[in-house]
């Protein structure tokens, strides 16, 4: 894939001999174009970034990845092309109503049948007031 190279990271390797561990725009080392944390090329975004912009991948596969270390673990975030992203789908009124009904059921006690301002703990099956009374 062309256009995914970072001039700054390429020059760093040429100038100092330092090779950035997770910089592999050609995908030869990791099998997939890979970039270090906060060094993704323009035109690519993570799912979270797409969602914040009101977009979704639109059924397209990721085209690159970001790798970084977090403590002893290696983390990954996949990158999607912005030009292929589609607008987020909006729930229909019937879907929103079904979601509201399901969330209300999670807040309704099975013993006293009161609707609480919190979700009923599944391990008790009743609100905290009813559980404390047993």
Q: How many beta carbons lie within 10 A of that of residue 104, not counting itself? A: 10
Measure the CA–CA gap between 36 and 29, rounded to whole angstroms: 13
Q: How many beta carbons lie within 10 A of that of residue 47, not counting itself? A: 15
**pTM of the prediction?**
0.65
Tens of pLDDT along the chain (134 residues)?
446 766 666 666 666 655 567 888 888 888 889 888 888 889 999 999 999 999 999 899 999 999 888 888 888 999 999 999 999 999 999 999 999 999 999 999 999 999 999 999 999 889 999 987 55
DSSP state of 24: B
Please give the structure tokens belonging to residue 42: 């323009």
DSSP state of 88: P
């Amino acid at each position: 894939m062309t256009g995914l190279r970072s001039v700054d990271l390429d020059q760093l390797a040429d100038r100092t001999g330092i090779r950035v561990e997770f910089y592999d725009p050609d995908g030869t080392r990791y099998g997939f174009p890979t970039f270090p944390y906060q060094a993704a090329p323009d035109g690519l975004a993570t799912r979270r970034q797409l969602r914040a912009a009101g977009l979704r991948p639109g059924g397209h596969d990721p085209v690159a990845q970001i790798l970084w270390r977090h403590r002893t673990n290696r983390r990954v975030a996949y990158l999607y092309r912005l030009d292929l992203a589609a607008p987020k789908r909006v729930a229909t009124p019937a879907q929103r109503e079904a979601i509201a009904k399901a969330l209300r059921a999670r807040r309704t006690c099975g013993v006293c049948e009161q609707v609480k301002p919190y979700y009923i703990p599944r391990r008790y099956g009743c609100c905290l007031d009813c559980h404390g009374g047993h």
